[in-house]
Amino acid sequence: MKLLSPFHLGNDMINNRIVMAPMTRSRANIDGEVGASTVLYYTQRASAGLIISEAINISKQAIGSPLTPGIYTQSQIQAWKKITQSVHDNGGKIYAQLWHTGRVGHSLVKHGDIPVAPSSIGIQGQKHFTFDGPKDYETPLELTVLQIKAIIQEYKQAAIHSIEAGFDGIELHAANGYLPNQFLAESSNQRSDEYGGSIENRNRFVVEIMEEIVSAIGEKKAGIRLSPTNTNNSIIHHQPIEQFTALINSLNALSLSYLHIMNVPFDTDQFPQYPQHIIEFIDTISEHPIMANCGYTRETGEEELVKGHAAMISYGKLFIANPDLPKRFELNAELNEVDKTTMYSGQDKGYIDYPFLHT
Active-site choice (155, 178, 195, 296):
178
Nearest to 84 by CA among 114, 47, 111, 46: 46
Q: Which long-range contacts (CB under 8 A, 24 or more apart) does 130-135 make?
A: 130/66, 130/106, 131/66, 132/108, 135/106, 135/108
Q: Is 255 exposed, middle or buried (0-12, 13-18, 19+ CB in 10 A)?
A: middle
Q: Helix or strand or coil: residue 231?
A: coil
Q: How far apart are CA 315 and CA 219, in angstroms?
A: 26
Give Cβ neighbours of residue 56 (< 8 Å, ≥ 6 apart).
68, 69, 70, 71, 80, 96, 97, 98, 99, 158, 162
Per the annotation, the verdict on 178 as an active-site residue is: yes
DSSP-assigned letters across all residues of 301-341: HHHHHHHTS-SEEEESHHHHH-TTHHHHHHHT---PPP-GG
Q: Are strands 7-9 and 169-173 parallel, antiparallel or unpaired?
A: unpaired
- Catalytically active residues, by annotation: 178
